[in-house]
Amino acid sequence: MTDKFLDLAVAGIQGLHPYQPGKPVSELEREYGISDIVKLASNENPLGPGEAVNAAIATVLPALARYPDANGFELKAALAGRHGLPPECITLGNGSNDVLVLLAESFLAPGLEAVYSRYAFAVYGLAVQATGAEHRVADALPASHPDQPLGHDLDAMAALIGPRTRVVFIANPNNPTGTWVDAVALERFLDGVPAHVIAVVDEAYFEYVDVPGYPDASQWLQRYPNLVVTRTFSKAYGLAGLRIGYGLSDPGLAGVLNRLRQPFNSSLVAQVAALAALGDHAHLARGVALNRRELARVSAACSALGLGVIPSVGNFILVDTGTQAAPLFEALLRRGVIVRPVGNYGLPQHLRISIGTESENDRLIKALGEVLQQ
Ligand SMILES: *Cc1c(COP(=O)(O)O)cnc(C)c1O
């Protein structure tokens, strides 16, 4: 290995540190020689996709020799109906991550700036860094905040917007904190975003959120022409492995993204599966109901174990262990439970725990109890 190629890379790429994904089950099996592993590390839906999706995927297998519809006609039509927007407002992505990267690549470059919050979803920083643009990272709300510890401070973010700002990222709710911003605060923020700034509201966990005052920003596209809302099939729809998400925006903005978008960035299987998932309301509702019950139960259990639990509206919780979290993470691994350390976010004492099935959560709670006693 040599750094010769790193020296050749463009400046933005030289400064990149690769995204740290949750530890795959297969890796833990190989390294520790254990089976029966519970992965609560990547905010996936423990129920996975429903029968309708599996059946739809089976129907397209004979067609895999063909390229997918580059414009995703059918899926866009269904999404347009769902959101009450024309299909021209929709940008399909290879996961919503793809849409976030398209936004950064389209609107950022050296000399320009992006604004986001400390502890915001790590992909914003990576996408910005790759373009060579400047990061303007706003301080988060304090850990002692009564409702939204470590949450986005929209006033602090607004204060960082300047003439060179082109993109501002808001995760609602945010990962890894599970915090959220309400409709009144978000509207006030968007009212102040100048026309030269693209406001990206990332609603990856939208379907899970069940609190009064939580906004559906997709309904605001008329009012805020520079607004982009991103959604995904990776979380509540249970399709993380397929990679499909989308952006909703003004058609002109979608047209910009479409110049850069790879023509076949969403696969045939992903388009068909997403369409089926969108129509299977009962399966979605089952997953959301399970999460609601288990989020409350796991949160309470973690509090009872003495961990500091940040109230979450997603399908995961961030807990403050009050000590270095890395050894706890390792001890949980040895018990076959994978959670997510978040030292890369500047939170070395915290762990992010995804909400699983009842039995997976039982395993987690038991293992946590054991490792905290040691
Ligand atoms: C998981 C996640 C995403 C996107 O995931 P994709 O699988 O690329 O759609 C986007 N934003 C946040 C905040 C997330 O947690």
DSSP codes, 255-311 = HHHHHHS-TT-S-HHHHHHHHHHHH-HHHHHHHHHHHHHHHHHHHHHHHHTT-EEEP
Query: What integer pLDDT is reported at residue 88 of this predicted model?
Result: 98
Output the six-digit token pair for 56.
């739809």
Residue type, 136: R
pLDDT above 90: residue 1 = no
Q: How far apart are CA 240 and CA 24, in angstroms?
A: 13
The atom number, within ligand 1, closest to the CA of 43 reads: 1
Confidence of residue 21 (pLDDT cuts 50, 70, 90): confident
**Distance from Cα 2 to the centre of ligand 1, integer Å:** 33
Output the six-digit token pair for 277.
């998932």
Output the six-digit token pair for 186.
């978000």
Tell which residue, 296, 356, 291, has the closest CA to residue 38.
356
pLDDT above 70: residue 354 = yes
For the stretch 64-74, pLDDT in tens is 999 999 999 99
For the stretch 170-181, pLDDT in tens is 999 999 999 999
Angle at which helices 73-83 and 268-279 pack, to 10 degrees? 30
Task: Give the contacts of 144 (CB within 8 A, at least 6 positions apart).
Answer: none
Q: Which of 96, 124, 246, 266 to mutate to test the pocket of ligand 1 (most atoms within 8 A of CB)?
A: 96
**Distance from Cα 126 to the centre of ligand 1, integer Å:** 13
Residue type, 374: Q
Tell which residue, 246, 241, 262, has the closest CA to residue 57.
241
Q: How far apart are CA 276 and CA 132, in angstroms?
A: 39
For the stretch 245-255, pLDDT in tens is 999 999 999 99
Output the six-digit token pair for 27.
């890796």
**Distance from Cα 204 to the centre of ligand 1, integer Å:** 5
Compute the mean pLDDT over every residue in the chain, rounded to the nearest whole number: 96
Query: Would the pTM count as exceeding 0.75?
Result: yes
Q: How far apart are CA 71 and CA 61, in angstroms?
A: 20
Residue ranges with strand state E in 172-304? 198-202, 227-232, 245-249
Structural domains for the chain:
3-48+282-372 (3.90.1150.10), 68-275 (3.40.640.10)
The atom number, within ligand 1, closest to the CA of 176 reads: 15
Regarding the beta carbon of 117 and ligand 1, being less than 6 Å apart is answered no
